[in-house]
């Protein structure tokens, strides 16, 4: 019997709403995006379970509830220019692309970036720009950004990303050690001062790069 992905996606969203996500725009965006296309075909039946899944290259696609929480934390209105660090499967970028004006996303692993581009194009999400490189340094040529989302755990808050956040902007990033992190929401006031809010505990793959963890040999 073939899985009905529409029903599975609705059940996923019912669970996310039950766990406290309330932003209607985020809920509507995630209700439309076909998450099963962002994972390997063998994993499609698990795509709408509230769990992270492997996508190859020792990377993962975040669990849907985490995607919803992080996206909600940015408080997007539709006009923003958003930077994502860690393209991965492209699913988070797809959610962002339906909620803001432009997405700039960086992935250090070429094969993942190329695959994400194909899936995003198949969804008609042409407002997503992908760069292959060190995401921990951000994308200075396109800065500043109204919002920044980091989908990998950093050992400390990268100064380059804080610098590239526009006044009035928000950044969400997991920071901690290799075993566990805390989700931080960074907000920059109009005068450039920065405030940090500590939220939930979490565990992400490592942010590898100049301002992250060193690449493993």
Rounded Cα distance between 182 and 146, Å, is 22
Q: Is residue 30 part of a domain?
A: no
Mean pLDDT over all residues of the chain?
Answer: 95
| Residue 90 confidence (pLDDT) | 97
Give catalytic residue positions. 62
Model confidence over 99-151: pLDDT tens digits?
999 999 999 999 999 999 999 999 999 999 999 999 999 999 999 999 999 99
Domain residue limits at 129: 50-62+74-202
Residue 211 lies in a domain: no
Burial pattern 189-210, b for ≥16 Cβ within 10 A else e, equals eeeeeeeeeeeeebebbbbbbe
User: What integer pLDDT is reported at residue 208 of this predicted model?
Assistant: 95
Predicted local confidence at residue 214, as pLDDT: 86
For the chain, how many structural domains are there in total? 1
- pTM metric for this prediction: 0.95
The pLDDT of residue 216 is 63
Q: How far from each other are the two terminal CA atoms of the chain, in whole angstroms?
A: 44
CATH number, residue 80: 3.40.50.150
Q: How far apart are the C-alpha atoms of 84 and 199, rounded to whole Å?
A: 19
């Amino acid at each position: 019997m073939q899985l009905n992905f529409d029903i599975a996606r609705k059940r996923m969203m019912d669970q996310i709403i039950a766990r406290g996500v309330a932003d209607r725009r985020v809920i509507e965006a995630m209700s439309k995006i076909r998450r099963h296309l962002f994972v390997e075909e063998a994993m499609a039946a698990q795509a709408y379970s509230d769990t992270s899944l492997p996508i190859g290259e020792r990377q993962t696609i975040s669990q849907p509830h985490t995607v919803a929480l992080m996206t909600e934390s940015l408080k997007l209105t539709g006009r923003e220019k958003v930077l994502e660090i860690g393209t991965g499967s492209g699913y988070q970028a797809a959610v962002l692309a339906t909620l803001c004006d432009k997405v700039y996303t960086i992935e250090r692993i070429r094969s993942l970036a190329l695959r994400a581009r194909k899936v995003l194009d198949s969804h008609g999400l042409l407002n997503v720009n992908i760069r292959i490189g060190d995401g921990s340094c951000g994308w200075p040529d396109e800065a500043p950004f109204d919002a920044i989302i980091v989908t990998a755990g950093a050992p400390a808050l990268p100064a380059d990303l804080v610098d590239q956040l526009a006044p009035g902007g928000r950044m969400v990033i997991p920071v901690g050690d290799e075993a566990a992190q805390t989700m931080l929401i960074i907000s920059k006031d109009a005068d450039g001062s920065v405030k940090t809010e500590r939220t939930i505990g979490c565990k992400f793959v490592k942010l590898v790069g100049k301002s992250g963890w060193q690449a493993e040999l």
